[in-house]
Structure 1
Amino acid sequence: MPGNLPPETAALVGRERELDLMESLLREHRLTTLTGVGGVGKSRLALRALHALPPGHRDGVWWVELSPLRDPELLTSTVAHTLGLSDHSARSPDEELCAWMADKELLLVLDTAEHLVAACRHLVGELLQSAPGLTVLVTSREPLGSPGEMLVEVRPLPAEGPDSDALALFRQRALAAAPETAAAFADPRRAAIAAEVCRRLDGIPLALELAGARLRLWSLEEMAQRLDARFDVLSDPLTALPPRHRTMRTAIGWSHELCAPVERLLWARLSVFAGDFDLTAARAVCSGGPLPPARVERVLDALVAKSVVRRTEERGSGARYRMLDTIREYGHDWLIELDEVRTLADRHAHWYAALARAADAGWLGPGQVDWYRRMTAEHAQLRTALEHLLGTDRTTALEMAGALWFFWFSCGHTHEGRGFLERALQGAPRAGTAHFQALWALGLTAMLQGEMPTARALGAQCVEAAVHLADPEPELRGAYLLSVSLLMPGDPQRALELAGPRARAGHGGRTSGPGWLLCRLSASYALCDLGRFEEAAEEARGLGEACAELGDRWLRAYADYVLAVAALGLGHHGEAARHVRAMLSGKRLLGDRLGIALGLDVLAAAVAGLGDGELAARLLGTGQAWWRTVGHPQMGGSPSLLALRDEGERRARAAIGDEAYEVAFRGGAAAPTG
C-alpha cells in the first residue's frame, strides 16, 4: 500500500482506551484531532493507532510533519510534496492539491499543527470538501475548530499505584539507559520511590523519559530528592501556568539544571535548527566560546544520552539529530537569555547559503545523487535560512535562492522556489551575477509551470542581462531558457537557432558547463520536432557522453529520452524502449516526476509500436497518474508531447480494441506513484 508512515521506534505503554477510541473515530469520522500538552505523547499515540489500523485506504496513509514549518504559506506545498506532487502547475497549490485529491481514498496525518492552526483549518476544510474519500488525523496542542472535528484529549499516563502505566514507562526508559537499575525496581521500598517520582512528574511521558535517562548517573533516592527540590523552587513563579504545563516546564527545567554548563549552551544553540540536522551543521553553527568545534560531538552525544536530543535514522551520510518541539522551545528561551538569537540565526543562515552554493557547484557531477538526498534532507533548514536572510541580508538571500535553481527545477519544489525567488528579486539591484542567476532560476520555474509567455519574457531578460556579464555561461543559460520557452509551444526552428551547435559556438564557454549542456538538450529535442532524427540522435549521444564523463545522471537521463524519441521517429521501437527504460531508471533515482511522466508516454508509444497494446495502455494510464502529480499533462499541452502520447494511444487501441484499452488504462492509472 502506498504511504510514508514512519516506523515505530519504541513500544507504546498503556493507552488502550485511546487506541480503541481512535480506531472507531478513524473508521466513522473524517476529521479527528488529538490534543494535549506538549510532551504528552500525541504523535506517538497517533503512530501506534495508524500502524494498528486495518487496511482500508486505497491510496495509503501519509504522514506530514509540520514542526519544522514556520511559514503558513508553505503548508499546502509541504503537504503536496509529501504526497508526491511536484507542484509544476501554474494553478494555486490549494487548487492543485484539491483537484489531485478529489478521487483519492487516503488518510492524511498533520502532525504537530498547533503553530499553524488557522492555515490547517483552512486547508483541511478545502480538502474535505473536495475529496469525499479523505480522512484527516491531526495532532496539535489545540483543536483546529473545524466543523465535524472529533477531539481526543491525550492525557498524561495514570501515575497512581505500583502497577501504573507511568511507572511502567519510567522503568522501561530507566532500564534502557542503565540496565543495572533492574534490581532497584525489584525492591519494594525503592519501587515506591520510583512511583512517587512518576506521580510528581504527573505521568507526562516526555518528563518520565528525561528522568529515566538520568538513572545512569543517580540512584532513585538521589533523583527523588533533586526532583523535590526542583518543584519546591519553581512552584511559585509558575503558578500562572496550567498544572500540566507547569509540570512539563518544571521537568524540562530540572533536566536543564542537571546538564553541565557547556551542555546547556549547546542545547540553547541547537534550538536554531528547524527539524533535523547533521553533525557537520551542528559544529559549524553552534561552536564558539567554551564550545570549540572539536567538542561539539562529545557534548551532543551527552545530550542524546540525557534524551534532550534524539538521534534519527541514517540518511546516507551519517546520523541526523533533532529536538522535540517542547525541548527546542525551552532551549530557545535560554538562547534569548544569552542574547545569541540573532548571532545563531545569522550563522545558521550563512552556513546553509554556503551549502547551497556548494551543491550548485557539485550538481552536475558524480555526487549528484548524494546532493539530491542531502538537500532533500535539509529542506526545512534551507527554508529557515532563506526566510531569515530575506529579512536581514537580501544580497545573500538572492545568491542562495539562485544557487538552489536545481532544487526548484529538478527536485519538484517549483511553487516554493518561485515564491522565494520572486521575494528575493524584489528591490534587488538589477545587475550582477546573483541577479542574473535568480532571474534565470525564476524563468525555469515559470517554464515548468507551463507559463511559456512568462518564461519567454524572463528568458529575453536573461539574454539581455548576460551581455553585460562578459561570461559565456550566463549567455548559454539565457539561450536555453528562451529556446525551451519557444520550443514547447511549437517553434522548434527558432529554438534550434538559439541553442543549436552554431549558436553555442558563437557563445563559447565550457562544453561541460550547465548552460552548454542544457542548450544541447533543447537543440536535440528541437531536431526531433523538425523530423531530423539522425541529427537529433547525434546531438543527444554527444550530450549523454558529456554527462557520463561528468558523472551526471539527471541530464544524461534526458539525453536517453531524446534518443528514445529519435528512435521512435526512425521506426526503431525496440531501441526506443531500451533508451527510455534507461531514462526512467535515472529519473526514479532522482525523484524527477516530470521526467518519469515524460518517459512513460514514450515507453507506451514504443511498446505499442512493438505490438503490445495492452501494456501500452497500462503504461499510458500510469503515465496519466504521474502527470497528475506534476499538475499539467504534457507540459501544458505541448504539441509535440501530445502528438507522441496520442500516437501511442492510437496504436494501442488499434491493437486490442477500445474496450480492452479502457480496462488496461484504468488498471495502469490505479498504480501507485510513490
Structure 2
Amino acid sequence: MGETRTCRGNVPAEISSLVGRREELGGIAALVARSPLVTLTGAAGVGKTRLALRAADVLGGSFPDGAWFAELSAEQNGALVGHRVAAVLGLPEQAAHPQAEVLAGFLADRRLLLVLDTCDHLTGACAELLRPILARAPHVRVIATCRRPLGVPGERVLRVGPLDVSGPGSDAVRLLGERARAAVPGLILDEAEATRICRLLDGVPLAIELAARRLRALSARQVADRLGDRLGLLTGGGPAPFGRHRTLRTAVGWSHELCSPAERLLWARLSVFPGDFGADDARAVCGDEALADPPLARLAEASLLERRGDRYRMLGMTRDYGGEWLRRLGEEDALRRRHRDHYLAVARRAGAEWYGPRQREWAAWTRRELPNLRAALDRDDGPDLPGALWFAWCCLGLAGPGRRYLDRSLRRHTRPGPARTLALWARAQAALSAGDAVAARAGAAEAYEAATAGNDPDIAGRALQCAAAASLALGDPGEAGRLVVAAFELLARDARDDLGLALAEATLARTLCARGAFDRAVAILDRRARRAVRGELWTRAEGEQVRSLAELGRGDAGAAETSARAALDARWRLGDGTGAALAMEQLAAVAARRGDGRRAAWLLGASRRAREDSGASVNGVFTDDAATGGGPAYGMLPDAAGGPSGAGAPVGGSPGWDGPGHGTPVYGTPGFAVGRERTERRARALAGDAAHEWAFARGLATAPGVAVALIRNAGDAVQPPTGRASSRT
C-alpha cells in the first residue's frame, strides 16, 4: 500500500507495530477507491480499530482535506453522534439545523477520509448520519468499525478475521513474540508453546496481547496450560492494547450487552458445541419453546459466529463467555444431554445407512463432526454412542480412540442389553482394525455370547466373522473356515444384514487364499460383486484387497494390481488413510512379484507415511490418543505371492474358540506382519540395499495425497538420479 504519509487530520499515532494484515490493508485500499463506505466487521478483539487506524494513516495522504478519526465507544446517545463527529472536524454547533444536514453541507465539497470507530451500539444512528453525507459529499470516504454492517446504500463490508495461527512464523506467533519481548526484554519464547498459546486463543490479537503480558510472571508453557480459563487469565496489567478493553471478559461482555434476550440465550446454548456445527444441529440442540426460531443469522451478522459455507463456529473466548451464562441459567446439564442425544440419533442413522449409497456422505459427516462426537463421548460414558459409532472406529481409521471409548463404557456398564451387545462387537471389530488379532478374537467371543443370549443373530453372525478373520490372522485357516461358515448360517437368518454377509464372503475368500484355493476365492468375490450396492466403498475395498491376493496367487500380476488400485481408490475416497496404507502395501507386493524392487520399496515407504499421517490426523482431535488407530488391518495377511499358509478346507459345525492364542497386537501378529516383511525382503533383494533405502526414503517423504495421485496416474516417483543408487536383479 505504500509508505505512511504526513497529512491533515487527527489520526492517533501508533504506539506499537502492526503485525501482518497486509492482505486486509490492500483490500481496504481497493474498497475505499470505489466505495463511499467501507465497514470493517469482526469479533471483539480481532483488531478492527487497529486496522482502521493503519489504513487511515496510510491512505490519508491521498485526501487533500485529511483523515479524521471519531471514536464512538463512550457515546451512549445516538442523537449526539453527529455532534461528536462535528466536534472532531472542528465544525461549530448550529442548533437551528439537524446535525446530519449540517455535516452533509460542510462535507459536500471536501475530499477527506472519516473513520467512525466502534459503531456497534449506535448502528442505527450512524446509518442515519451517513446517508445524507454520502449522498451530498461524493468525495468523502468513510471507514467504519462495527460488529455488523450498517446497512447504508453503497456500503462494502470487509470481514476482519483472527490472525493466521498455522505454526511458528505465523502472524499470530510473531505478534506474541513482539509483545512478549516488549514486556520482557530479551525473552526467548519456545516456538512450540507460543504456537500452542496462539491456537488456544484462536489468533485473536487482543487475547494474544493480553497473554503476552502474562509472560512477565509465567512461562509460555504455564500460560498455555492455564488457558482453559481464558476469560479469567487474560486480565489487565497495564494500558489496554486498543485503548478500551483491559480484559478479555470486558471485550466479549460488550458484545453480550448489545444482544437481544433471544440472541443471548442462543449464544449460551451454542457454547455446548466445541467446534463447527450446522444450522440443523443448532436447531435440534438449542431450539425449544423458549427459542422456537434460533437467531443464528443475527449472531453471525453480529460477528459472534463465524460462518463458513453452511457451517458455523464460535471463537473460544466467545464460547467460554456463553458457557458461563449457560451455567448461570442452570441449563448446562440439560444442553449437554441434548447435544449427546442429537449426535446419538444421527450416529444411529448413519450406522443403519452405512452399507448403502450414502456411505461416503456419512464418512464425511463423521470426520466433520469429530469434535462434537468427542465432546458427546467425553460427557457420557454409556455404551450407546460408542457402539453406534462402530463404523467410525472400524471403517475410518479411528480404531485407537474407538477402543478406548468402548473399553471405558463396557467396563463401567455391565448390564446386558442391545446397546452393550453392539458395543462388544464394535470393540472386537475395532481391535481387528487396529491389528490386534488376539484382542479381536477374545472380544468376538464375548460379543457372540452376548448376542446369542439376547437373541440377536445379526450381531452373533458378525462376531463369528470377526473371530474368523482374527483366527486367520493368527495362522489358523482351518478354524477361520469353520467360524466363517457358522457366520453365514447366522447371517442368512437376517436378510437385511448385507454388510455382515459381505464381510463374511471377503473373509471366506481370504481363507481360501490362505490354503491356495485362489480360483474358488475369485468365484466367491465375483458373486459378491454382482450384489454390490452402488456407492458403497468399505466392503468393496475389502473385496478388492482380497481379490488382489487371489489374482497374485493365480499368477496374474496385472489383475492383482488393478484390484489393489481399486482398493486404494475406495479407501482414499472414504477418507481411510490407514486402509489406503494397506492397499499400498499390497501394491508393493505386486511390484515385488513383477521384479521392480525400487517401486516396491517406494510403496512401502509411502504406506508407512500414510499410516503415520493417519494417526497424526486422529491425534489432532483425540489429543490423548497414544495409538495411531488404524484401518482394517487384516489386509496384511500373508500375501498370496508367498503361497498357501495353511491347509484344510472350511468345514461346517459349531463355532469354536480354542485356537492359537499367541501373537503381538498392533500389526505385530504374524498374520499381519509376515506379508509386509516378505515384500520388503524381496524388494531389497531385487534393488540392492542402497537403492532400497533410497526409494523407501523417497516414499516416506511423499505426502499421502501426492502418493495416491502418483499411483493413480502411474507416475514415476522412484527412479534415482544417476550415480545415487544402483539396482540388481
Q: What is the TM-score when the length of structure 2 is the normalising length?
A: 0.59
Shift of 1:403: 0.6
**1:211 aligns to what?**
146
* Residues 229-279 of structure 1: CA deviation (Å, up to 9, x unaligned): xxxxxxxxx9x9527565543343333232232222222221221111001
Q: Does 1:479 align with 2:510?
A: no
Q: Which residue of 1 aligns with 2:667?
A: 636
Q: State the secondary structure of the residue aligned to 2:304.
A: coil
Alignment of 1:271-310 (within 5 A): 271-292=271-292, 295-296=293-294, 299-310=295-306
Structure 1's 503 and 195: CA in aligned 2 closer, same or farther, altered over 3 A?
closer
Note closer, same or farther for the CA distance 1:15–1:534 as it changes in structure 2 (3 Å cut).
farther
Measure, in 2, the Cα distance between the counterparts of 1:430 and 1:162: 68
What whole-Å deviation, never above 9, does each CA across 1:461-480 have from its counterpart, x for those lacking one? Answer: 11211211223201111102
- Pick the aligned partner of 1:423 from 408, 411, 418: 408
Hey, what's the Cα distance between the residues in 1 that align with 2:363 and 2:68?
Answer: 43
Residue 260 of structure 2 corresponds to: 260
Look up the SS of the partner of 1:574 in the other structure: helix
Cα deviation digits, residues 271-316 of structure 1 (max 9, x gap): 2211110011011111112422xx33xx21111111111102x4xx
Q: 1-side partners of 2:564 and 2:55: how far apart?
A: 66
The equivalent residue for 2:623 is none
CA–CA distance in structure 2, aligned partners of residues 613 and 14 of structure 1: 63
Q: 1:453 to 1:387 in 2, by over 3 A?
A: same
1:374 counterpart (340, 365, 377): 365
Task: Determine the structure 1 residue equivalent to 2:211.
Answer: none
Give the AA of the match of 2:236.
P
After TM superposition, the structure 1 = structure 2 runs for residues 88-103 of structure 1, keeping only pairs within 5 Å, are: none
Candidates 470, 483, 493, aligned match of 2:455 = 470
Equivalent position amino acid for 1:406 in 2: F
Shift of 1:628: 4.3
User: Equivalent residue of 2:250, what SS?
Assistant: helix
Secondary structure of residue in 2 paired with 1:636:
coil
Paired AA for residue 488 in structure 1: A
Deviates more, 1:257-266 or 1:274-283: 257-266
Secondary structure at the aligned position of 2:312 is classed as strand
Contact 1:452 1:485 in 2 (8 A): yes
- Pair 242,653 (structure 1): closer, same or farther in 2 beyond 3 Å: closer
Q: Is the 8 A contact 2:360 2:535 kept in 1?
A: no
Structure showing greater radius of gyration is: 2
Q: Distance in 2 between matches of 1:596 and 1:438?
A: 26
Shift of 1:361: 0.7
Q: How does 1:23-422 map to 2 (within 5 A)?
A: 40-41=45-46, 163=57, 188=89, 194=115, 197=118, 211-213=146-148, 215-216=150-151, 242=236, 244=240, 246=246, 248-292=248-292, 295-296=293-294, 299-312=295-308, 314=309, 319-390=310-381, 397-422=382-407
Is 1:593 matched up with 2:589?
Answer: no
Helix, strand or coil at the partner of 2:366: helix
Measured against aligned partners, the alpha-carbon deviations of 1:513-556 in whole angstroms (never above 9, x if no partner) come to 3322222222221211111111211222333333x226310111
Question: Cα–Cα, structure 1 residues 253 and 193, in superposed 2: closer, same or farther, change >3 Å?
Answer: farther
Change (3 A) 1:158 1:365: closer
Q: How many Å separate the matches in 2 of 1:336 and 1:168?
A: 44
Q: Which residue of 2 aligns with 1:25?
A: none
SS in 2 for 1:470: coil
Separation in structure 2 between the aligned mates of residue 248 and residue 471 of structure 1, nearest angstrom: 55
Shift in Å at residue 371 of structure 1?
A: 0.4
- Offset from partner CA, 1:102-131 (integer Å, 9 cap, x none): xxxxxxxxxxxxxxxxxxxxxxxxxxxxxx
Structure with more helix by fraction:
1
Aligned AA (1:305): E
Shift of 1:215: 3.5
Distance 2:698 2:398 in 1: 29
Matching residue of 1:668 = 699
Q: Contact 1:472 / 1:508 at 8 angstroms: preserved in 2? A: no
Whole-angstrom CA distance in 1 between matches of 2:465 and 2:511: 12
TM-score of the superposed pair, with normalisation by structure 1: 0.63
Contact preservation (8 Å) 2:460, 2:490: no
SS at match of 1:311: strand
Rounded Cα–Cα distance in structure 1 between residues aligned with 2:235 and 2:677 = 66
Structure 1 residues 654, 192: closer, same or farther in 2, change over 3 A? closer
AA in 2 matched with 1:336: R
Alignment of 1:498-517 (within 5 A): 498-500=483-485, 503-505=487-489, 508-510=492-494, 512-517=497-502
Q: Would the aligned equivalents of 1:158 and 1:164 in 2 still touch at CA under 8 Å?
A: no
| Cα-to-partner distance string for 1:191-210 (whole Å, 9 max, x where unaligned) | 99957759x9xxxxxxx998
Task: Answer whether contact 1:209 1:307 (CA < 8 A) is retained.
Answer: no
| Alignment CA distance shift 1:641-1:339 (3 Å) | closer
Aligned to 2:676: 645
Q: Which residue does the alignment assign to 1:74?
A: none
Contact residue 541 and residue 563 of structure 1 kept, 8 A:
no
Change (3 A) 1:474 1:194: same
**Cα displacement (A) at 1:360:** 0.8
Q: 1:440 aligns with which of 405, 425, 432?
A: 425
Q: What is the CA–CA distance in structure 1 between the aligned matches of 2:429 and 2:89, rounded to whole Å?
A: 69
Separation in 2, partners of 1:308, 1:15:
27
From the superposition, tell whether residues 656 and 404 of structure 1 become closer, same or farther in structure 2 (CA, over 3 Å): same
Aligned mates of 2:667, 2:383 — CA distance in 1: 29
Contact 1:524 1:539 (C-alpha < 8 Å) held by counterparts: yes
CA pair 383-362 structure 1, distance change in 2 beyond 3 A: same
Shift of residue 582, structure 1, vs aligned partner: 0.7
Structure 2 residues without counterparts, runs of 5 or longer: 1-13, 22-42, 60-66, 72-80, 91-102, 104-111, 122-142, 154-231, 616-627, 637-665, 706-729
Change (3 A) 1:646 1:258: closer
Matches of 1:209 and 1:469 in 2, distance apart? 67
> Post-superposition shift, 1:435?
1.0
Contact 2:462-2:491 within 8 A present in 1 as well? no
Aligned to 1:539: 524
CA contact (8 A) 1:170 1:209 kept: no
Shift of 1:330: 2.0
Say whether the 8 Å CA contact 1:483–1:494 is kept in structure 2.
Answer: yes
> What SS does the corresponding residue of 2:400 show, helix, strand or coil?
helix
Cα gap change, 1:242 to 1:624, in 2 (>3 Å): closer
How far apart in 2 are the matches of 1:528 and 1:461? 28
If asked which structure has higher relative contact order (CA below 8 Å, sep 6+), I would say: 1
Q: Is the 8 A contact 1:574 1:610 kept in 2?
A: no
Helix, strand or coil for the counterpart of 1:615? Answer: helix
Q: Is the 8 A contact 2:465 2:483 kept in 1?
A: yes
Q: Retained in 2: the 8 A contact 1:456–1:486?
A: yes
Contact kept? 2:584, 2:604, Cα under 8 Å = yes
- The 3 A distance-change label for structure 1 pair 523 and 161 is closer
Letter in 2 for 1:242: G
CA distance in 2, matches of 1:169, 1:272: 40
- Distance in 2, Cα, partners of 1:343 & 1:614: 59
Aligned AA (2:252): I
How many angstroms apart in 1 are the aligned matches of 2:487 and 2:332? 51
| Residues 18, 211 of structure 1: alpha-carbon distance in 2 compared, 3 angstrom cutoff | closer
